[in-house]
Structure 1
Amino acid sequence: MSQPAPQDLMDTVIAITRKRNCEDFRSCLIETLMALLQTQEIAFLRSLPTPSGDTLLQDLGARREPGGAWHYADGESLRWYAVEDSLQLALRGNRHVEVLDAVSDERVHCIPVIVERRPPELLYFRGGDAGDSRLVLGFAQLYRNFLALISDGERDALTGLLNRKTLETSIRRILESNLRNRARGAAGIRGDRRTSAGDYFLGVIDIDYFKRINDGFGHLYGDEVLLLVAQIMQRSFRAEDLLFRYGGEEFVVVLSPTSKTQALQIFERFRQNIAAHAFPQVGRVTVSTGVVRFDRYALPAGAVGHADQALYYAKAHGRNQVHCYEDLIASGALIRRKRDSAIELF
């Protein structure tokens, strides 16, 4: 590799560190490494556990296709890899692993990026020489420091779930990705491979009678209930789903694409898990949930507002229930407000 000029390298670092969220930072870092390295493949792989105990890796990177063009993996799309020994070794040992691919005769580098309370990631690239390796290790450390810096700002201090500010950013990114995929489809270009797997669903979850818990047992026990609910959420939902504390006793879950039937089953499973749990001192706790398919909305507030309507219906009809906004509209239990049409795309 021809070494970049110091000023060029400094300009690159300045450009990268202007970014204010990890997705933009990661994209800029990939583009920088693509320009600097003679490599055929660069990828960030996010490690996600499965209920069966296996590890799945989410593709967040880019690779050079045979014609020389770069193919980008959409940050919202999932591409699952069988976890190779070298990747497992890098993750478990939290160290840089370099192996020789017997088929391509290329060096394969796996560099872990592990930050507390975030899914572990791997910076993975093929080819290059010793100079490439040192440069990538330096940029990986820069990325690790950035993640550590912003992690606290993205997380709720009590539960460790993503916070409300991060929710709006996440929804906007999904909606923008959905618009791009629709545009690609209209142009006859293959879009996000997950769209064939179903739709995005958003659920607003509220702890029933939470004020009674705070008033009857004190805020210390109320906080413990919030923490335990968050822990049950992490066990009940899938690794690729996004979990947020929305505020107070409200939580939001964004399900990665699935069918409506499966989405409602997932939220129902969580409801049952909460109802079956014995909360210390407090005893039985239940939750109510409103669900909406949200990838057709133009604004995050539209999706959350309709999920809230379904939630209020659950609250008004006995609590400890899961209701879907679209089903309530179809049955006539809820009436679509005229002003709502302004916030829907399709």
Structure 2
Amino acid sequence: MSNPYFSNSKIFGEQRRPANPYPNRAQAPNQAPGPWGPQPGAGQATAPAPGYDQQFASVEQSFYGPSAGSMQTGRMTYDDVIMKSVGVLAVVVGVAVASWFIVPDAMKVPAMIVGLIGGLVLGLVNAFKREPSPGLILAYAALEGVFLGMISGVFEMLWPGIVVQAVLATFITFGVTLALFKSGKVRVTPKFTRFLMIGMISYGIFCLVNLGIMWFTDFGGAFGVRSMELNVLGMSIPLGVVIGLVAVVLAAMSLIMDFDAIQRGVQSGAPRKYAWAAAFGLTVTLIWLYIEFLRILAILRGD
């Protein structure tokens, strides 16, 4: 059996039935004593009833046949999550590449604003929906793809090669975080959750304040407060790099939360449709991680 519990059980282990369902049929003694004396006809071999082989084969298939898969049970599996995540990310990347090369220069800024606002709205809708909607999740991925295509094109024009660097940094961080989670070295605890919540709220407030400064003042240029310099041991370090590294740590912690939620969902037998919710959560975090690396690299490379 595929279930380890049944395989190792003394009751449901390998020796669950004899090779011959009636091993003593042909070797029966002349008289087999029963609870009320000798049984008539016990010394004679008895032929199986007509149709017995077909009946036993049917019963055997019912009890010892292959285990039901996720299609039969309707439960979420890791394969479901992987396939849905790859699909959603493929939409993001495909739309980003297409919009990068197809959208005319005069429409790039409007397209970026539409992608940013539309992605934010659908992100909030998907985050608060009780039931995952594949259509809305894919629409979110398409809008985010438009935004990422536009902003990546601008950054690549100003700092050639920066997009490849940001993509590599994103997936390396994803791989390291997944390896740490799988090894058991990092686990989600109440303290971990509280720290992440406080950090994300604080970072969100900072981003809103910095956005207001960028829009309504000339302070700091394109990165606002992030462009300020910190003097540490005689070295000048951009504040944006420090804040960006903190944001990367928060995003990595968010990935660990995503992995933990997926693991608990699979172990508890969550419905298969929630693989879409898991794919959505991973996509949101990876996009956040990519944007942070893109900004850190731009600040390091200067104007």
Superposition TM-score, scaled by structure 1 size: 0.20
Task: Give the structure with the higher percent strand.
Answer: 1
Superposition TM-score, scaled by structure 2 size: 0.22
Structure with the bigger RCO (C-alpha within 8 Å, sep 6+) is 2
Larger radius of gyration: 2
